[in-house]
Amino acid sequence: MQEKPDTFRNPVLPGFHPDPSVCRVGPDYYLACSSFEYFPGVPLFHSRDLVHWTQIGNALDRPGQLRLPPGTPSSGGIYAPTLRHHDGRFWLITTNVSDGGNLLVTAADPAGPWSDPIRLPGVKGIDPDLAWDEDGTCWCTYAGVEQVPLDPHTGRVLGPPRRLWSGAPGAKAPEAPHLYRIGDHWYLLIAEGGTERCHAVSIARSRTPNGPFEPCPANPILTHRGTDHPVQNTGHADLVQGPDGSWWMLLLGVRPLGGTPGWHVLGRETFLAPVSWADGWPAVGEPGPDMPAPPWPLRPAPPAPARDDFDAQEPAPRWISPRHRHPRNCTTNQRPGWLTLHAAGHSLDEPDVTFLGRRQQHLSCRVRTLLDPAAGRGGLAVRLDEAHHYEIEADPREIRVLARVGPLRTVLASRPAPPGPVVLGLETTATREVRDARTGPDVLALGIEEEGGFTALATLDGRYLSTEVAGGFTGRVLGMYAADGTVHFDWFDYEPLDR
What are the residue numbers of the active site? 19, 175
Within 13 Å, how many C-alpha atoms sit on residue 12's CB side? 33
* Cα–Cα distance measured from residue 404 to residue 165, given in angstroms and rounded to the nearest whole number: 43
Question: Distance between CA atoms of 41 and 148, rounded to whole angstroms?
Answer: 26
Taking the chain, what is the end-to-end CA distance rounded to the nearest angstrom?
A: 5
How big is the CA angle at 213 (ends 208 and 216), to the nearest 5 degrees? Answer: 125
Burial of 206 (0-12, 13-18, 19+ CB in 10 A): middle
The beta strands (E) that lie in 334-364 are given as 339-342, 354-359
Q: How far apart are CA 48 and CA 27, in angstroms?
A: 6
CA proximity to 347, closest of 380, 378, 388, 382: 378
Which residues, other chains included, contact 131 with Cβ-Cβ below 8 Å and sequence gap of 6+?
84, 138, 139, 141, 178, 179, 180, 181, 209
| Rounded-to-integer distance, Cα 430 and Cα 441, Å | 6
Q: Quick one: 111 exposed, middle or buried, by C-beta within 10 A (0-12, 13-18, 19+)?
A: middle
Question: In terms of Cα–Cα distance, which of 261, 253, 235 is closest to 168?
Answer: 235
Burial of 451 (0-12, 13-18, 19+ CB in 10 A): exposed
Q: Output Rg (C-alpha) for the chain, integer angstroms.
A: 23
Nearest to 204 by CA among 196, 194, 212, 193: 212
